[in-house]
Chains A and B, each alone.
Chain A
Amino acid sequence: SPWTLAIHGGAGAMAPGMFTPEHEDACHAGLESALAAGSAVLADGGSALDAVEAAVMVLEDNPLFNAGRGSVFTFEGRNEMDAAVMDGTTRSAGAIAGLTNTKNPVRAARAVMEKSPHVLLSHEGANRFSSEMGLEQADSEWFATAERRRQWEEFKERKTGWFDADLKYG
């Protein structure tokens, strides 16, 4: 059957005119790169699972999107990342939460699915599992972009309470 791929880079309150034309172009370019990576796998007869992993890794490496590099900051000023994969063939699944130093969290989620008897691992244990599986690690600075730090500083300035459903970021 013909292959199909869809991606997203997050939903939110962005409205026409909110971004500069340059920022919009950069977002479109980021989405294009992810589509190209996933489409290449599928056009080559590859699996849906390999395709979605490839597409998500491109977006994780792109600081414009809230995943991997460019993830938003926690209250304590850290980057804690979550990811999941699921294979519709067998309904096997893998998920990881609270990851702090794995360059591509989606690969850690896939390792949980393929190299552990579990479905969901989190925080310190998830970090240890990722290292033990030999996945590429990155320093905290890799994930922490200036723009996300600025947003975090802005968040801290607002004393309206610790949780604001109107949060503009992430």
Chain B
Amino acid sequence: TVGAVAVDASGHVAAATSTGGLTGKRWGRIGDSPVIGAGTYADDRACAVSATGTGEVFIRNAAAHEIAARMRLLGETAQQAVDAVMAEVGAMGGDGGVIFAAHDGSAGFAFNTPGMFRGRADASGLHETAIY
């Protein structure tokens, strides 16, 4: 699975996710990536999220929407919200990670696996990639 989230110069957020799914998937199995609110979500009032990992748990958790809702309703920062939702995903036996770009211009990630291919860039010149 691959994904991208962004905040543009006008302060609008957007998310995109794309995946081949799981090796050996059967019966037309679909994970969280194309399920809006599970693996992909964007709301200018909060953040944009793209997720990767155990799709079934991200769906049951409505993880991407939950992150945005926690920001809107509880006033959490994006990092607080993604950390809380990833803790819940882990507690439900799911693994993987999320990236976010928030309406305040922050961007980041949270994951509970040994690695996640990821990168970040912004108008100030930040430009980094990481795997572990």
Which residues from chain A sit less than 8 Å from chain B, CB to CB? 1-16, 19, 24, 27-28, 30-32, 34-35, 38-39, 42-43, 45-49, 51-53, 55-56, 59-60, 65-68, 70-76, 79-89, 91, 93, 95-98, 105-106, 109, 119-120, 122-123, 143, 148, 151-152, 155-156, 162-165, 167, 169-170
Contact = CB atoms under 8 A, between A and B. Distances in A.
Contacts of B131: 14, 19, 24, 27-28
Contacts of B4: 5-8, 34, 38, 51-53, 55-56, 59
Contacts of B18: 56, 59-60, 67-68, 81-84, 105-106, 109
Contacts, number: 327
A71 B31 CA distance: 14
B11 to A, nearest CB: 5
Contact of A167 (B23, B33, B48): B23
Nearest to A104: B18
Contacts of A97: 30, 34
B7 interface: yes
